[in-house]
A and B are shown apart, each in its own frame.
Chain A
């Protein structure tokens, strides 16, 4: 037998992956990435095992979820059927969808408009002041923010009512309670915007700052005014960012920020404030119907995935861009 000779093709040799020795920077980056991955594993993947609960019978004899998984009989799609037949199903789903659609229409564009307008402010100190002021509410938790809202809108002792009475909307003899069902959606939209518009605009402001300034200069030479610049340069330039956030928002049409509803919910507005998130909390954490609420959560997630895939598909067809795929 002759000696085996391996001939290496020069191009193959060139493409062969070389593993560099890790530097301190690589280790830092890897550690940071690990934290994110660990977070996802612990809070997103491991809990997925609990999905099995959705297909187990609810039995109040078992108050330990592991006992339910281990001992409770299989229920098939019984928990889903029960949810669809629940007399609160339609009111909960319509509240969730209705409010989220309104928020998509009103609260989603608000940070975009705010960012564009903020970008137009030339006075840098004033700009920074407005930006700080608008971002600040984001850092207050919903529990504290909700408490402030409750105190301000108290029908008898709050400061909001005298102001609205001053503008002719109601009076002390014809009082208005902003915390009742009639005004709940409006109030929630306003305070969500107040709390989130500054923070929401950060990402758009970042996108705006990366726009090539030569585009504006060229447009101005061609006679475009500031409004035209906004419309024909700023908006199209940040359109990819807007698309990504729009798609993510659409996938969350059945999800809600639980805290904001929970702190503002009361018996006088529950007909309008009971959304999937609060109903799941009510049935799961207080009434302890684990299987039933897991089914509700799974339903919510499935609808979310379907909505996101559909929106992504439409976005790709219409605008030529999407989240993935």
Chain B
């Protein structure tokens, strides 16, 4: 028996020692290497994706770091992509969005052929800066997809070029300034990225009551933190809302470990919490008095039983449930994420009577801090997912050609609209041109050249949208290289307006358009070449975790004095964690970014020449002239 025990012990020790040797022996298994395949270069005069042969069909794995992301590979468009490029893509997604699957891939250098991760993640920069983990896009394109080099948007290239001068991936949802300006010339405007919405029937009732009481009542008095609390209390009492009702509801804190509640970010914009001071320097938002005022306001809401602790513990679907039952008077977050719940509420409220969208909708509202500052709300974000070809990819030559196709106008058209038909009634395709590319068109009373033409879905597809039965086509999927500006500019409607939810989603934020600004000045990353870059990244992570841990405690503090004290205590803890070092470093990157963009101020409030200076509050209602009326042929469901 003793001999047996010795053998087992020896065996275990050997296995452990062998594992260690295998892990750390420098055998080359862990070191990244870029191996360029020995394939002939592509002909630069022809689209790269047209140059493959039938005997060279390949399959690549593509990881999208987004839980719930869905690509219907059996859909018409996915099949068409395969038919045109000869590349079959097998997508992988994580079970949840906390980044653990990506961590595991990075820990073990066990990537898929292509990975798509959030463009604003430090890991994107780290991977690019680490060297030899990611293929440089230009280097691949030079050899196998020269046409892509001409297509790459230069503004995007400048923004995402790594410190070694290479571009290591391509983002989707990139809004180029050129396209945005063209969109504006057509009389359209982009919506904000988030906002605050209120139940219109309650809002109208409050205004009617105030005006009935005093005909000279100024609606702008509601636009202060106290004005909002007074209005919410009136609604609560008038409509008999109990203390367990989420009268004011923040977006879910579900991903508190990573991003916290997105509602807090938009609220910071409403309270004009500065990210840049009047001299153009980057400042720590959490150390600003406006931030403290915002947190104390949330605490006041809580102590007035307008906000519940249940709001802080509810999941996204639970909060969706509140909305579709019309429980919140005010919702603070990204309303577009909850659009289907808002739609359900509208349908539910009017189910028993004649449908009346106006009486059953939530509308965007505006208010500001106690100093009376009008808010500036950032417009639709800059980029979303960033797709990179990893060192594990055996056929980067074919993947770069796939990128070339997906990035091209032809690829974007296929992703968004499918296959061309000759007319609205042609059932062999999914879209048709109402205006051909390059022709002039009159939109919103302005005559412009339609660069991409004007496109409509065929009647068959419109019926499919109304029936909620478009999954077989796979529009917008796979959207990892999707350009929304192409979709907007080419659309005869100026955007994605195919279903009832699309209209509801647009109208939840359209009223805020006069209060929006481009966030491009703040969209920069920490300079990865700095000597203390790693330390600063650690500080950034620690600060994020610190505030996420204290938000709930501050909101639920027993009184405003204690809430204020908690904010200051957390700020002191942040100081101990090194926020000043972080801000100093970030400010250097910020100044370099602004210099690059040739702007002095990133925040319109600091810019004396900005149109912002003329903005005034007239009331909490937004400007609903930007709303889209729901056409009669759109089925309400």
Chain B, Cβ-Cβ closest to A69: B24
The count of chain B contact residues (Cβ–Cβ below 8 Å) is 59
In the bound complex, do residue B126 and residue A60 qualify as a contact, i.e. CB atoms below 8 Å apart?
A: yes
Q: Which residues of B contact A41 (CB under 8 A)?
A: 12, 15
Please tell me which one of the listed residues A49, A64, A270 contacts residue B107 in the complex, with CB atoms under 8 A apart: A64
B108 within 8 A of A: yes
In the bound complex, do residue A271 and residue B553 qualify as a contact, i.e. CB atoms below 8 Å apart?
A: yes
A59 within 8 A of B: yes
Q: Which residues of A contact B99 (CB under 8 A)?
A: 285-286
Q: Which residues of A contact B308 (CB under 8 A)?
A: 155-156, 175, 177
Contacts A46-B15, A69-B24, A156-B327 hold; do A287 and B541 have CB atoms under 8 A apart?
A: yes
In the bound complex, do residue B309 and residue A155 qualify as a contact, i.e. CB atoms below 8 Å apart?
A: yes
| Per-residue interface assignment for chain B, residues 13 to 57, with 1 indicating a CB less than 8 Å from any chain A CB and 0 otherwise | 001110110011010011000000000000000000000000000
Q: Which residues of B contact A154 (CB under 8 A)?
A: 310, 314, 318
Chain B, Cβ-Cβ closest to A150: B315
Q: Max chain A CB contacts within 10 Å: which of B16, B314, B322, B551?
A: B314
In the bound complex, do residue B24 and residue A177 qualify as a contact, i.e. CB atoms below 8 Å apart?
A: no
Q: Which residues of A contact B29 (CB under 8 A)?
A: 66
A10 within 8 A of B: no
In the bound complex, do residue A48 and residue B16 qualify as a contact, i.e. CB atoms below 8 Å apart?
A: yes
A28 within 8 A of B: no
Please tell me which one of the listed residues B17, B314, B537 contacts residue A60 in the complex, with CB atoms under 8 A apart: B537
A45, B18: Cα distance in complex, Å: 11
A93, B573: Cα distance in complex, Å: 20
Q: Which residues of A contact B107 (CB under 8 A)?
A: 63-65, 288, 290
Q: Which residues of A contact B534 (CB under 8 A)?
A: 59-61
B257 within 8 A of A: yes
A-facing residues in B244-267 (Cβ within 8 Å): 244-246, 253, 256-258, 260
B556 within 8 A of A: yes
B123 within 8 A of A: yes
Contacts A46-B19, A64-B107, A70-B26 hold; do A173 and B243 have CB atoms under 8 A apart?
A: yes
In the bound complex, do residue B246 and residue A285 qualify as a contact, i.e. CB atoms below 8 Å apart?
A: no
Chain B, Cβ-Cβ closest to A40: B12
A271, B548: Cα distance in complex, Å: 12
B242 within 8 A of A: yes
A180 within 8 A of B: yes
In the bound complex, do residue A70 and residue B15 qualify as a contact, i.e. CB atoms below 8 Å apart?
A: no
A315, B124: Cα distance in complex, Å: 54
B250 smallest CB distance to A (angstroms): 11
A206, B243: Cα distance in complex, Å: 51
In the bound complex, do residue B313 and residue A180 qualify as a contact, i.e. CB atoms below 8 Å apart?
A: yes
Q: Which residues of A contact B19 (CB under 8 A)?
A: 45-49
In the bound complex, do residue B244 and residue A161 qualify as a contact, i.e. CB atoms below 8 Å apart?
A: yes
In the bound complex, do residue B123 and residue A63 qualify as a contact, i.e. CB atoms below 8 Å apart?
A: yes
Chain B, Cβ-Cβ closest to A274: B549
Contacts A65-B107, A155-B310, A177-B310 hold; do A268 and B556 have CB atoms under 8 A apart?
A: yes
B-facing residues in A148-168 (Cβ within 8 Å): 150-151, 154-157, 161
B545 within 8 A of A: yes
The count of chain A contact residues (Cβ–Cβ below 8 Å) is 48
B552 within 8 A of A: yes
B215 smallest CB distance to A (angstroms): 35
A67 within 8 A of B: yes
A286, B548: Cα distance in complex, Å: 14
Q: Which residues of B contact A59 (CB under 8 A)?
A: 534
A6 within 8 A of B: no
A186, B236: Cα distance in complex, Å: 32
In the bound complex, do residue B318 and residue A270 qualify as a contact, i.e. CB atoms below 8 Å apart?
A: no
B575 within 8 A of A: no
Chain B, Cβ-Cβ closest to A170: B244
Please tell me which one of the listed residues B246, B258, B537, B556 contacts residue A156 in the complex, with CB atoms under 8 A apart: B246
A282 within 8 A of B: yes
A174 within 8 A of B: yes
In the bound complex, do residue A268 and residue B552 qualify as a contact, i.e. CB atoms below 8 Å apart?
A: yes
Chain B, Cβ-Cβ closest to A65: B107
Contacts A66-B109, A267-B253 hold; do A180 and B309 have CB atoms under 8 A apart?
A: yes
Contacts A64-B107, A175-B308, A267-B253 known; 12 new A-B pairs at CB < 8 A: A45-B12, A47-B19, A48-B16, A65-B107, A87-B573, A154-B318, A155-B309, A155-B314, A172-B242, A271-B549, A285-B104, A288-B106
List chain A positions with a Cβ less than 8 A from chain B: 41, 45-50, 52, 59-61, 63-67, 69-70, 87, 150-151, 154-157, 161, 172-175, 177, 179-180, 266-271, 281-282, 284-290
* 21 sample A-B contacts, Cβ–Cβ < 8 Å, listed by A number: A41-B12, A45-B12, A49-B17, A60-B538, A64-B30, A66-B109, A69-B20, A70-B23, A70-B24, A155-B309, A161-B244, A172-B244, A175-B244, A177-B310, A179-B310, A267-B253, A267-B552, A282-B257, A285-B100, A287-B545, A289-B538
List the 5 shortest-distance A-B pairs measured between CB atoms, nearest first.
A155-B310, A66-B30, A49-B19, A175-B244, A267-B552
